[in-house]
Structure 1
């Protein structure tokens, strides 16, 4: 079995070079990307011209503008940079099928058994650099037996130890100034202004199989992916290289600096496993129709939708998925687009269930001078299997059949959701509680079923001991009553006096003893159905008192 080989690709100028690609090479001034950190902005990415001007990563923006008045800055867009890294991940798939992301600016590839397809590892690195040169991207690469070693070689191979910014130069300053040396940059102590990061020769960035220890030994301790605080402490103690750290007693290091130091050291040397986790390619379901002539009639767009939906349904069915949210885009001749979006109450790949919802919202599209491209994308999908049923085979099969037949209600929810929003449509489900306030649960109709939910709800409504009122509200105290458990003859409710002509009951309801509900701190309740002289039927109860005083309350009204 061949030895595992790992390739690390680091893009140190990812954010800045992404913006330069958008400018199409028209921007020649130094460019920096800034991000908000606390009460100030710092530099998160630099172009080559900005680095040659003396700017550094993590530098405050105000200091950078003082050093380079011609600096052009852009605010960081983390989502756009993450999307750009995903695009590079797809590009890296040409070198290995096992590609994963490593942080925000790096990729990790398992190239075991792949290098010979490109003529060897050096030729593979040359191909990577050639592609990145054509893409106007700066890349630093390293190949080794482990993920940690490849990461270290990509960032620190071939660099002088002082460029790693691992601490003060202990062998160059007097003891009286060492404590302040870490607070001053190299060029502030008389050193040269930092320039662009040098790139090591290809041979220095490739650790031959079995030579991981010797390749890591001269690198600084920062190459172990340790926190900056630990790196600074090790450098102040005189431990500046990985080889020096590896020769020290492990127990003493773990006691003083924690287990992370030994874990990172073992991962870099291959003692502790660190597998490459490839990022799974996201499912993509989209179809497009390019028209020979612009269209503007609603009937023409419906004809285009009829041609696109069957193709979209085939792609969804091939993966066993159903569309939850569908986006329709109409690209106009003036290079702009109009977008409408619909949601389905149940995931489906049936064109007959998607088309009516799109047709309802076509009137929202302004076609302008005409539409020449139509595109439909199912950007949110779910598995077509509704849920996992428990029990014997016949019961689960019948439940699935019932759910498969209930499409009319789902279509109604979808049509209402296209106008009101799916979040505005709710559904009541039975709950396993004897308390009137907790006898039902409210769920979104589009994210629940009429046959129960996966939260312990029963499939059918429980039958209470007595009828429940149609209108239920929070308990309100009744005035003019005495603390007597028998129904009063007269009571005052919401500013009106009522005479009780008939009362049936009581029904005693007690709260769950294992729950602390503030509404039930007045103890056990005895519910009565009281009929007034005007024919109104109130649902009143007598609270026997617990943490609160006793008394009569009104909880609802019968129709």
Structure 2
């Protein structure tokens, strides 16, 4: 088997920076009690100002009073870890969160699908960069060795057990993943590299050190298997972004909205699902949470389309009170069936499918503004149709040549300079409800080039009446 490890060197900081509109702004993560706030991590701009991890907040303000702060949130890190695991699930069914700030996934069975390891690794890096996470990726015959190699460097690949021992023997003890107490004890004994530790008698190591040292060595060298609990993606999606300031305009919410829909699309792709209905939640200080429901007629998972549909519902919303946080909840995640396309689609970048156009119109105009026209059991044209929910495909017109859209009521028509294209078609119906109609319908071409569907009837009065127009 082959295992890949994806290590995130600045996991907590990347999770915050990807939600910031200005990632170049000086920013630090704070933790600790209110009496003694400590900098947990700092971005490049903050480091350039002289701010360092483990520095107190008071000392940092003395150096530079102008920098942004975000609370270090363990719960947010767990959700972030699960988000990345859901993404990795799209590449392997065996993904583990066993190691903090890292993912390990079995890739041997995925190589026939994604290509040889260099190509597979390049795709992982491309998608992680798009997600906004810095990373190191390594390959080894077992997950523990892959995690240890990630401590030593990036792009390290050991493909078999024969080369594993030689690749690990010269590594410093501090990079092997031992507990800090064991690393310190080994250092006091003058043991600096793995080959020095392996040269000692195993019985002496068992007496001097906890059993965890030998277990870790065996798992790293492949003589013992590390039991892992594999990640199973949830059937729902819930994500919340807390804003650094109060937002009073929906335009300022578009950046975090794009991140929410992008993360939703990432989880959907990993599970081969789509989102048919999700809810945006705008949290306020005192007012009740504003909920905006985004309903689609068919499952979708394209990040650009999800953002566009959500934006269409968000922008018309009146913000009753400044927004402190925005969240996205998706409980309906049905299977996704991609649209079938031809191998040689003509100019696809300039075409929009019916499904995308339908959803765009619904998001902009509202659910009631877009509907399908269905048939109804009545021969009278004004009663022969009804409003239906838009279907997943366009419905073809019947064999009769009828206009696609009728006028609200028949209108008088001057046909002195017109030509009869077809007709008459006799329609006589409605005697049972007191609104009987006896009409002779014709298709007329007028002098100005328009094509009308008109009739003659004694009930509406002498002359011609237009019922609808052909496109």
| Bucket of the pairwise TM-score, normalised by the shorter protein | 0.3 to 0.5
**TM-score, length basis structure 2:** 0.48
**TM-score, length basis structure 1:** 0.41
- RCO higher in 1 or 2 (8 Å CA, sep ≥ 6)? 2
Structure with higher Rg: it is 1
